[in-house]
Amino acid sequence: MILKINNEQLNFELEAEETELGHILDKLIIYLRDEGYVLLQIKVNDGVIDLKTADWQRLKLTEINELNLTAELMLELDEAVYALKLAEEALLAANKAALLKMQPMWLKLAYSIRFWLAGFAVEEKLYAALLQLDSLPLEAASKLVKLFIDMLNEKENELNDVYTELNKTITDLCDHKDILTSLSKAFQQNNDAKAMQDMLNFMQLFQKIIRLSSFMPIGKAKEELVKLLNELSGQLSAFTEACSARDYILAADIAEYEISERLPRLLPIIALLKE
């Protein structure tokens, strides 16, 4: 079976237990979601599958010669809010034509909203209702759209608060970068109490950044942030091991040439997260 995503062929191997389309689609959907994409269309042997039904999941893989998935980037939060406001205007004006014009994006909008509302107590039926928005009675559809707009606005405010706190914490961490250089000297002078307190303060700031960054939206900027945080985490572990072994020359080198060099690179990435 040939597997393509957006007409580009992928190399993959089937597991023995994967005999139906649903078995591999679950993995592919998770992969796409983690990359910030939404699955919009499935073509099997040149025929388009209706994603609103569950029948396609039971298709036998032995009957499929080519599987082609169409995926697009998830809507950004502000785009999702704007799209729903357009729908609300169409509903308030009772403009069925305008509402139907938006129908192709319901799936993308629904999946994007599912991502943006992660952590909110939203029942599955609300997503299903959004996908069928064009067929809902006018009053019910209008209430549904208003509900989603309110929830997304709340999420946007929450993310803005997280961004502000993340930016502040990273700035604090960069301001404390010289602490690591002085730590090895403090250990060398047997001032362990001060050194341990300074290290604890630094590590608490670093752990807070990791925790806050998990709330930021998927995208290239977050990928760069996570990569850099992983690098810093490894260097911090090496630094603490060197201090524990009382190898203060190595600890000072790690602090000056590895950690201090990487810390300033956090700030421009945070600026990209805001865009």
CATH number at residue 32: 3.10.20
On whether both 61 and 133 belong to a single domain, the answer is: no
Domain termination residue (choose one: 156, 189, 222): 156
Q: How many secondary structure helices (H) and strands (E) does the chain include?
A: 12, 5
On whether both 252 and 181 belong to a single domain, the answer is: yes
Neighbours of 98 (CB within 10 A): 14
Label residue 244 by pLDDT band (50, 70, 90): confident
On whether both 186 and 202 belong to a single domain, the answer is: yes
Cα dist from 238 to 135, 189, 203, 242, 251, whole Å: 59, 21, 13, 6, 8
Non-local (6+) Cβ contacts of 221 within 8 A are: 269, 272, 273, 275
- At 67, is the secondary structure helix, strand, or coil? strand
Label residue 5 by pLDDT band (50, 70, 90): confident
The answer to whether the predicted template modeling score (pTM) of the entire model surpasses 0.85 is no
Looking at the DSSP bridge assignments, the partners of residue 60 are 20
In angstroms, how far is the first alpha carbon of the chain from the final one?
40
Label residue 183 by pLDDT band (50, 70, 90): low
Residue 237 lies in a domain: yes
Label residue 200 by pLDDT band (50, 70, 90): confident
Residue 164 lies in a domain: no
Q: How many residues does the chain have?
A: 275
- In this predicted model, which residue has the larger pLDDT, 26 or 187? 26
On whether both 181 and 263 belong to a single domain, the answer is: yes
Residue 163 lies in a domain: no
On whether both 244 and 189 belong to a single domain, the answer is: yes
Handedness of CA 251, 254, 260, 160 (dihedral sign): negative
Residue 166 lies in a domain: no
Query: Which is nearest to 199 in space by CA: 191, 209, 168?
Result: 191
On whether both 63 and 98 belong to a single domain, the answer is: no
238, burial (CB in 10 Å: exposed 0-12, middle 13-18, buried 19+): middle
On whether both 191 and 122 belong to a single domain, the answer is: no
Q: For residue 214, give its domain range.
A: 176-274
DSSP class of 120 = S
Residue 88 lies in a domain: yes
Number of domains present in the structure of the chain: 3
pLDDT value for 265 = 85
pLDDT value for 16 = 66
On whether both 235 and 263 belong to a single domain, the answer is: yes
Residue 257 lies in a domain: yes
Q: Which two tokens stand for residue 30?
A: 């998770």
Is 38 a residue whose pLDDT tops 80? no
* pLDDT (tens digit per residue) in 162-180: 888 888 888 887 776 667 6
pLDDT value for 196 = 72
* pLDDT (tens digit per residue) in 97-128: 777 777 777 777 877 777 676 656 555 566 67
pLDDT value for 52 = 62
**pLDDT mean across residues, the chain:** 77
Non-local (6+) Cβ contacts of 129 within 8 A are: 136, 144
